[in-house]
Amino acid sequence: MSKVSNLSDLIQRVTASCLLHPLSGIERRENLSDDEGKGDAEEVYEYETDEHEEEEETDEDDAQIEGVLERRSGGSSTSSGGKHKKAWQPRTREVVTEMEMTMGQVFDAVSAMKKAYLKLQEAHCPWDPEKMRVADAAVLAEIRRLGVLRERFRRNIFPGGNGGGGRSGSGRMLMAATTIKEVVAPYEAAMDELKREVKAREVEVKNLKEKLMSFTVNGVRNGKKGRSISRKKVGCSLAQAPLSTSPELFEVTTSRVNDALRTFTSLLLSLMRSAHWDIAAAVRSIELASAAAEKVTGAVSTISSSVTTQHAKYALESYVARKMFQGFDHETFYMDGSLASLINPEQFRRDCFTQYRDMKAMEPTELLGVLPTCHFGKFCSKKYLAIVHPKMEESLFGDLEQHRQVVAGNHPRSQFYSEFLELAKTVWLLHMLAFSLDPVPSQFEASRGAEFHPQYMESVVKFPGGRVPPGQVVALPVSPGFKLWNGSVIKARVYLVPRS
């Protein structure tokens, strides 16, 4: 409501300032006429000065007033001895009367626009498109009305005429053209913006049509229309995309994977705490499972027990990352026995990058809503079931509804599963990008008990001064690293503890 008041107050102040300023000049002319004894007392408007102040006007001010009157009256206001003629008085009365009417109409229009703007705000909550349309039309109508009143005000202040004191015909035409441009300019800008938006929508519709055609053609070709398509063609357009991947792009995508991993892990940890889990026991379970996977026993596994409850999120990240990256070295995460990368490697690389490019801008929920059983959908289902055990889901949510939907080949619309899909999408994109490179980047992971190597490892815990002190060893590998063919290394993230 305060915004509306400020808007109307601003309009009223500006309008009053514009209208009152010329009246002060008219007042001076009325007062000059009264000094000659030929004016009418009812025509004197004292907005800025009184009689006592007029008597103290300097000769320079009188000369300026005479010049203004001479220009406004078309040369009929000067005579010998600095006296003024009466010819301007009838015109002045008409101007003042019309300006009073104009001022009343201006403030009426401002008040009406304020009410229309209030209705426009009220139409937003609750949302009512019809009321918004009506209120918007009312606001525009009052703005146009104000524009007409402004033009009338200009004509009153600068009356037309063919004398030396009036504006010429070309001057009036120039002023009218300027006014029209000022009124039309906002509409032209809005029209240009709408045209740009229409073009962007047309491009988006064209791309979606191409993708839909690609889905349909590939589904028919594979004999599984509406149910499944080839993994290589998910999200691919019919036109072949040039291969423009790079190690820098792979590094940026890896960073996004780590960000998504942290976000999903934080959500999972908060749910575990809300369900009153024993976080320390969960960490120990994760460490034992990880040690069993590496076949590590004895003293090395004892190092892992130093992971504190405060840093439980890193143990959880390690668990989720290990599940998500399992099978990363195979072209289909070992979901089938495809050998396309060996039969036609160059075409396979192009297909992978095309899929990366097209999937990058898509929401995973939208894609799976159209193709729930595509290879990306199967990947999501497989990884979710590997990460979230039925007992874990029942403990966190009180039922197994999400588990049942995933097993049935569907994808839940819950916030938890949506966060998981964001993580799955980044890992899938990284996988597609890796297989679009030649050769494919090699994945590596730090081993428990290994000494910290700054060239290949990055500590998830920040140390004072930004430097890892000597004598630190790996207690828990958090996420894997990669070696690229150009010699660059994307460091593995590790949780470090002192050897002692």
Q: Is the pLDDT of residue 397 over 60?
A: yes
pLDDT score, position 197: 78
Q: Of 212, 229, 246, which residue sits at a domain end?
A: 229
DSSP letter at 223 equals T
What is the H or E stretch that residue 473 is in?
strand 472-479
pLDDT band at residue 336 using 50, 70 and 90 as cut-offs: confident
Structure confidence by residue, pLDDT tens digits, 236-286: 333 333 345 678 889 999 999 999 999 999 999 999 999 999 888 888 887
- Do 157 and 265 sit in the same domain of this protein? no
Angle, vertex CA 199, rays to CA 193 and CA 203, nearest 5: 145
What span, in angstroms and rounded, lies between the C-alpha atoms of 249 and 253? Answer: 6
Backbone phi, psi, residue 402, to 5°: -65, -40
Residue 316 and residue 460 in contact, taking contact as beta carbons nearer than 8 Å = no
Torsion sign across C-alpha atoms 262, 263, 265, 270: positive
- Do 158 and 181 sit in the same domain of this protein? no
- Do 129 and 189 sit in the same domain of this protein? no
What span, in angstroms and rounded, lies between the C-alpha atoms of 117 and 114? Answer: 5
- Do 463 and 372 sit in the same domain of this protein? yes
- Do 55 and 106 sit in the same domain of this protein? yes
Give the domain range for residue 57.
2-167
Candidates 121, 139, 145; CA nearest to 15 is 145
Domain assignment present for 270: yes
Residue 286 and residue 319 in contact, taking contact as beta carbons nearer than 8 Å = yes
Question: Which residue type, as a one-letter code, is found at position 475?
Answer: A
What span, in angstroms and rounded, lies between the C-alpha atoms of 324 and 383? Answer: 6
What span, in angstroms and rounded, lies between the C-alpha atoms of 373 and 302? Answer: 43
- Do 152 and 213 sit in the same domain of this protein? no
Average pLDDT, stretch 490-496?
94
Domain assignment present for 241: yes
- The mean pLDDT value of the chain amounts to 75
Tell me the H-state helices in 47-128. 51-55, 59-72, 88-122
- Do 366 and 420 sit in the same domain of this protein? yes
The more confidently predicted of residues 148 and 169 is: 148
Structure confidence by residue, pLDDT tens digits, 95-151: 777 778 888 888 888 888 888 888 888 888 777 878 888 888 888 888 888 888 887
Structure confidence by residue, pLDDT tens digits, 54-94: 444 444 444 554 554 455 444 444 444 444 444 445 557 77
Q: Is the pLDDT of residue 476 over 60?
A: yes
**How many other CB atoms sit within 10 Å of the CB of residue 383?**
22
Structure confidence by residue, pLDDT tens digits, 352-380: 998 998 888 888 988 888 888 889 999 99
Residue 140 and residue 176 in contact, taking contact as beta carbons nearer than 8 Å = no
Q: Is the pLDDT of residue 391 over 50?
A: yes
Average pLDDT, stretch 17-37?
48
Residue 96 and residue 43 in contact, taking contact as beta carbons nearer than 8 Å = yes
pLDDT band at residue 453 using 50, 70 and 90 as cut-offs: very high
- Do 281 and 214 sit in the same domain of this protein? no
Average pLDDT, stretch 443-471?
90
| DSSP 3-state percent helix, strand, coil across the chain (nearest 5) | 65, 5, 30
> What is the spatial order of strands in the sheet that 481-483 belongs to?
442-444, 481-483, 489-490
pLDDT score, position 28: 45
Pair of tokens at residue 202: 């047309």
CA dihedral 311, 312, 313, 316 (to 10 degrees): 140
- Do 289 and 376 sit in the same domain of this protein? yes
What span, in angstroms and rounded, lies between the C-alpha atoms of 228 and 377? Answer: 10
Residue 480 and residue 459 in contact, taking contact as beta carbons nearer than 8 Å = no
pLDDT score, position 478: 94
**3-class SS at 493?**
strand
- Do 357 and 474 sit in the same domain of this protein? yes
What span, in angstroms and rounded, lies between the C-alpha atoms of 489 and 216? Answer: 40
Domain assignment present for 257: yes
Domain assignment present for 443: yes
- Do 182 and 160 sit in the same domain of this protein? no
Average pLDDT, stretch 327-338?
88
Least confident of 157-166, 289-298, 466-475: 157-166
- Do 394 and 364 sit in the same domain of this protein? yes
What span, in angstroms and rounded, lies between the C-alpha atoms of 3 and 153? Answer: 28
Candidates 389, 380, 391, 388; CA nearest to 418 is 380
What span, in angstroms and rounded, lies between the C-alpha atoms of 109 and 105? Answer: 6
User: Tokens 């004895």, residue?
Assistant: 298
Domain assignment present for 172: no
**How many structural domains does the chain have?**
3
